[in-house]
Structure 1
Amino acid sequence: MWWRLSLPLQPELEESLLWKLTAMGLHRVAVQHAPEAPDQRTLLAWLPAHEWPQDQRLELIASLAPLAETFDLQLADPQWDELADEDWSRSWKQHWQPDPVGKGLLILPAWLSVPEEHAQRLVLKMDPGSAFGTGSHPTTRLCLEALEAAPPQGLRVADLGCGSGVLGLAALGLGAREVMAVDTDSLAVRATSENASLNGLAPEALRVAQGSLETLETLLASQPSDLLLCNILAPVIEALAPGFQSILSAQGRGLLSGLLVEQAPRLTDVLEALGWSVQPLASQGRWGLLEIRRKVQ
């Protein structure tokens, strides 16, 4: 038997809760949402019943509550449903549907076929069960739409904090020459590698390694990128910002997301003090996207 957790989800909490559950070793998760109503989401998780008696389930919810408090929010009331063994896998997969993004992208769970109405879109095949979702989070969608608006044709791309690898896959599909990707989480590195294979990419097209800025510098081999993708939380961007100069060329641009709109002014001040010109590029709900370029001397 299995327990299915259903938790109504504010968009601000999606990234943090997925990270927390993954860090706890819970990988059978999904975020249910309809593309036409992106703010209406439900976090779903499937737990083996014999491992999760009531006291453990209550403790799990209590461990998630502080993440909501970080955003001055309150965790919604959870719902627990018991499922038979033969139902849980089908239940998990049915919550992942083809997800159109922007004007011409389609995030496609690997076991599904391309719907006829989306046949002309660029398909990004993903395994949602590996780690870090498939790109439904507003910050990921902001980055994908920005990539689509200015395709990285022929560019060398660096992906700092690659998660599932969806941004690197999109960059290559939109014409990037190569992508160098890093993440501090070994599960993210594995997910990116697996998703690259699902899309038939050669290993040299998307190179991924576990680590942060220093690892990315090594992958770039002293040849800074033309485009930096960085979809991580604002405090982490701030901490890493002094190293951006070593991984982004003088003529390059960076797309920074993972930040709340209200965090943008402080981050902008930090980046400008480091010699970057900062432009708010887009927002979705409370989430924002910044573009950086080197200041003209």
Structure 2
Amino acid sequence: MKWSEICIHTIEEAIDPITNILYEAGAGGVVIEDSLDLEKAQLAQDEDYQLDPEDFPIDGVNVKAYLPVTSFLGETVAEIKQSIADLRQYAINIGESQITISERNEEEWATAWKKYYKPVAVGEKFVIVPTWIDFKSEDRDRQSIELDPGMAFGTGTHPTTVLCIEALEQYVRPGAKVLDVGTGTGVLSIASAKLGAASVLGVDLDQVAVDSAKLNIKLNKVQDIAKVKRNDLIQGLAPHYDVIVGNLLAELVLRLAEADVAALLQQPNGILIVSGIIRAKKEQVAQALHAAGLKIIDSREKEDWVCLVAVRGE
């Protein structure tokens, strides 16, 4: 099959919303080429995982998606361009968002992206390992999380995921009941289970993500603890949880607050962990959580991203 590669040159802040647009348009896979990842690799001088500078932009980020070549391709690309332009209405900086299109054979993109994905130490207790790499951590204090990213992959672990895992390490207690909203690959659900949670429910609106999370949970042998189902955020869920974690865009975190996410937390002192928030929207999100009956007890930042931890009191 022939595939069309659509490449959007943008900035870090716009990665997640643009990626969502591409998946909604029917993308068969996404690659994120971040110039910062190349800089980090060069500074680390890791001989085992050398990255080719020609695969990365000089600055900013390339978000590449793969769409099947059909008679509707032109209309789909036009809709993508308009949706990306519309992001400015939500005060999202999308940079120049220059778009280029080229043709690829299926074999080219189905395997080439794996060169970007390597074992990454996250937090104090984990190392995330792609399933196709034979890797054994020399650090006995770190547990491996094996991941097959399926149709969603990038050049490394995103800062928002790292922030969430760091917060989970601090706030998940043995026996906790955890809800993972927007589970994606299931990495936060897996981490919660490995941290001693008694039960974990991961939810995602995207069926591809649900299937991917189920696969990864099984790969990590935590299927007796972690379950996944398709769901629109917290709609229809019952009060049950000690910890709720959501690696989401700020707009979706605001929706959680409006949906009374605090009511799903068991008292006393249920914990909400939310990331995916750009620094410019930190105060807006914090105010919304406060209005929803939650108190911010912890704030963490990595690059341009923020993670907020809130508690529901008595």
Asked if 2 retains the 8 angstrom alpha-carbon contact of 1:17 and 1:67, the reply is no
Contact 1:253 1:292 (8 Å CA) reproduced = yes
Matched, 1:152 2:169: no
Which residue of 1 is the match for residue 46 of structure 2? none
Deviations 1:175-221 (A, max 9, x none): 2221012222322222221221222222x41122222324432xxxx
Cα 1:126–1:262 change in 2 (3 A) is: same
Aligned-partner residue type, residue 249 of structure 1:
Q
Contact 1:35 1:99 in 2 (8 A): no
User: Separation in 1 of the partners of 2:76 and 2:293?
Assistant: 48
Which stretches of structure 1, 4 residues or longer, exceed 6 Å deviation after superposition?
A: 132-135
8 A contact 1:134–1:164 mirrored in 2: no
1:239-250 maps to which residues of 2 (within 5 A)?
239-241=255-257, 242-250=259-267
Mapped partners of 1:209, 1:196: distance in 2: 12
TM-score (norm 1): 0.82
Which residue of 2 is the match for residue 205 of structure 1? 225
Alignment of 1:169-208 (within 5 A): 169-202=190-223, 204-208=224-228
Q: Secondary structure at the match of 1:59?
A: helix
Counterpart of 2:270? 252
1:94-243 equivalences under 5 Å are 94-114=115-135, 121-131=142-152, 136-202=157-223, 204-211=224-231, 212-217=233-238, 222=239, 224-241=240-257, 242-243=259-260
Q: Structure 1 pair 198/187, CA: closer, same or farther in 2 (3 Å)?
A: same
Unpaired segments ≥5 residues, structure 2 = 42-58
Contact 1:19 1:132 in 2 (8 A): no
Percent identity over paired residues: 28
Deviation at 1:40, TM superposition (A): 5.6
Contact 1:3 1:83 in 2 (8 A): yes
Does the Cα contact within 8 Å between 1:143 and 1:255 map onto a contact in 2? yes
Separation in 1, partners of 2:118, 2:255: 36
Cα shift at 1:229? 0.6
Q: 1:273 aligns with which of 275, 291, 297?
A: 291
Offset, 1:79: 4.7
Greater share of residues in strand: 1
How far, CA to CA, are the matches of 1:135 and 1:155 in structure 2?
Answer: 29
Query: Cα distance, 1:170 vs. partner?
Result: 1.0
Shift of 1:130: 3.7
Q: TM-score, normalised by structure 2?
A: 0.78
Alpha-carbon spacing, 1:275–1:68, altered in 2? closer, same or farther (3 Å): closer
Query: Any idea what SS the aligned residue of 1:270 has?
Result: helix
Asked if the contact 1:128–1:134 (Cα under 8 Å) also holds between the matched residues in 2, the reply is no
**How far, CA to CA, are the matches of 1:226 and 1:252 in structure 2?**
5
Match of 2:78 in 1: 59
Q: 2:31 maps to what in 1? A: 30
User: CA contact under 8 A between 1:160 and 1:182: conserved in structure 2?
Assistant: yes
Q: Which AA in structure 2 matches 1:269?
A: Q
Tell me if structure 1 keeps the 8 A contact 2:10–2:63.
yes
Aligned-partner Cα distance in 2 for 1:166–1:133: 14
Residues paired across the two proteins, number: 289
- Relative to structure 1, the CA distance from residue 12 to residue 127 in structure 2 (aligned partners, 3 Å threshold; closer, same or farther) is same
